[in-house]
Amino acid sequence: MSNALQAFGSMVKGWVTANADHYLRVVIPADHVLPAPENSAPLEPDASYFRVWLSEMFLSKSVDWGAQQFPAVHTEVTLTFGNQAEVTFSRVSQPPKDQIGKGVFLNYLLSELMPYKGGVVTIDAALIALKGEDYLRTAIGVLQQFSGLVTAPLGEALNIAGKLTIGTRDLLASTGGNIHLGWHDSFVSKGGDGGLVMKPGFYAVILGTQQQVEPEKLYVKDGRLYKGNDLQSASPLSGFDYMLFRIEGRKERDDWRLKTVDEPLKKAKAALAKDNNEEFTAYRKVSLVAALESPDYSETDRQRVIATIKQELKKLQESGLGVLGIEEGKSFDYAMSYEEAHARGPISSHEALADD
């Protein structure tokens, strides 16, 4: 990793170390969360996905946020992606100008859905107090919009993701902004050493001491941080600046029709309607190869996507209707269950391209 790409993580780690006496990072136990989480089991490498959210940010009156100083949250997630050992995806977020005085901000997306391949996943996030005029807010707003361009398929967005990370760091450094609150953690798979176990859950970072906050009394209700003697009687935490993060875990993509796979698939279906077997064969192969090589799928989902492509095309071939046999907006379910695909393991190129 380049020195430029290391700078932000080092800055956040330095802040956490320097502020250890009046800063807390709290992992919220699953039995302190309402509604109860559907799944809090560790994520399995090559068979799961994750996404990072800023569930809640609360700003007390400890800082006079306003025209000359405004908050922005910069987040970087570094992980193994595809065949690259370390890829960093970043996102910058800022509250709307007319809401800064309200103090509470909810549900900011900090990363896209990404396959978990194991290894070490590092998350660095910082609430930065930026000093400047309205033009700086505009510049941050532009970066926020560009952050939204880094979407699935992420494999096609690696170039812009890298430039966005460096550009954001350069802008933040040029403003002289200071970290007001930071989070740095490294996550590993179950049984690994050197970090927290990678699993769904809530993580709170709070400007306060253990004696002041009493972390064992912290709860999460509907994505917000509460404090009390029990889950039912707890009330919203106040009096401290804090950020509440959530790691979302999934076994499968609900958006598996990535454009790199779906566009040639649609062309293969159109070729069937024209009874053009040569075009059909070519586009079928392009779609299957895209699914086979895409870094956006887990190995388990890759099996399922390839099986689904084949099933859809086979059904249309048997119907004799081609693309005309598809109802508008209809989407077939996965052709293979998660359990079956998981049991089969990674698919080979021979299996992926076979006529079955």
Cα dihedral 283, 289, 293, 297 in deg (nearest 10): 70
pLDDT in tens, 232-264: 999 999 999 999 999 999 999 988 999 999 999
pLDDT in tens, 47-98: 999 999 999 999 876 566 665 667 788 899 999 898 888 888 888 887 766 5
Q: Across all residues in the chain, what is the average pLDDT?
A: 84
Q: Number of C-alpha atoms within 13 angstroms, CB side, residue 38?
A: 4
Q: How confident is the model at residue 327 (pLDDT cuts 50, 70, 90)?
A: very low
Residues facing 121 on adjacent strands = 187
DSSP 170: H
Please state the domain extents for the chain: 3-250, 259-353
pTM of this structure: 0.86
Residue 143 near residue 171 (C-beta atoms within 8 A): yes
